[in-house]
Amino acid sequence: MLYNKIKRGIYMKKINFLINYGINSKKAIKIALDKYKKGKKEYILFGTTHERMLNHKIYNLQIIKNLVDNIKPDLIIFEANKIVYKKNNVIDGRIDMQYVYSYAQEKEIIYTMMDNIKYDGSIYPNKTNMIRDRQMYANMKTEKYENSGANKVLVFTGVYHKFAFDEIFIDHGYKIDKTFDKNVAFKEDGKIYYNNFLFSSLNKKYKYIENVIEKRLDGIENYKCREAWKDYFVKEKKFLKEFIEENNQKQYKQ
């Protein structure tokens, strides 16, 4: 367990170095992309970098679009809270996950979510642990989706989770497909654009933070954790407001 944690840390440092210094961002993308196989089931996992994908020249939202267009999955799974979506019809994921959702909607691809993070003091913002990662894996592998006939599944998650899933998938008998052509990430078929699904979802998320989450945070007993989450959501609301105002007028279709 400790060995795998160290290994994930090394991977993250390598990716951050490659991205930040622009030495070989394509190599970073290939490190964060793998296909796992067991029988007929294929899970293609890509580790995203959340808001950083908005401004990077190569490691950006175009990669998400390329993967969806070129892989043509039966099912897309992404990092957002499944329970929040069920109860409130809100996607609470970060901007890259919002884009995944909006593009899946437009392309009419079946999708689901795998996270179950709770704002109850059990975890800090921008952190994870193996309990959360294993639960996310379990949410991916529900009987409903395992027996749905969706054999080609495309998964989008934060890059650190992706390295945790390396360990978890292998523990469950999956093999990394070394013949997988990772250049599918770079074959473009039209540039990215923002659609109405995206802006509708972002507006819902903003209202959900304001009307539900911010009130719930007062119940966190751990002072440091409570203040960390409050600060996180103040910044998240600011980001959402600015993104919507800046980009809503620029949306276009192919």
The model's pTM is 0.91
For residue range 105-131, list pLDDT tens digits in order. Answer: 999 999 999 998 888 888 999 888 888
Asked whether residue 114 is assigned to any structural domain, the reply reads yes
Quickly count: other Cβ atoms within 10 Å of residue 192's Cβ.
15
Asked whether residue 179 is assigned to any structural domain, the reply reads yes
For residue range 4-39, list pLDDT tens digits in order. Answer: 666 666 766 777 776 666 556 888 899 899 999 999
Asked whether residue 223 is assigned to any structural domain, the reply reads no
What does pLDDT average to over the chain? 89
The CATH number that applies at residue 113 is: 3.90.190
The mean per-residue pLDDT over the stretch 44-69 comes to 94
Q: Which is higher by pLDDT, 8 or 164?
A: 164
Asked whether residue 178 is assigned to any structural domain, the reply reads yes
How many Å separate Cα 108 from the centre of its chain? 19
3-state helix, strand, coil in the chain (%, to 5): 55, 15, 30
Asked whether residue 72 is assigned to any structural domain, the reply reads yes
What is the number of structural domains in the chain? Answer: 1
Asked whether residue 214 is assigned to any structural domain, the reply reads no
Share of the chain above pLDDT 70, in %: 88
Q: How far apart are CA 67 and CA 186, in angstroms?
A: 8
Asked whether residue 109 is assigned to any structural domain, the reply reads yes
| Residue 3 one-letter amino acid | Y
Instruction: Note down the domain range covering 72.
Output: 2-193
Asked whether residue 229 is assigned to any structural domain, the reply reads no
Amino acid 204: pLDDT: 97
Q: How far apart are CA 171 and CA 52, in angstroms?
A: 31
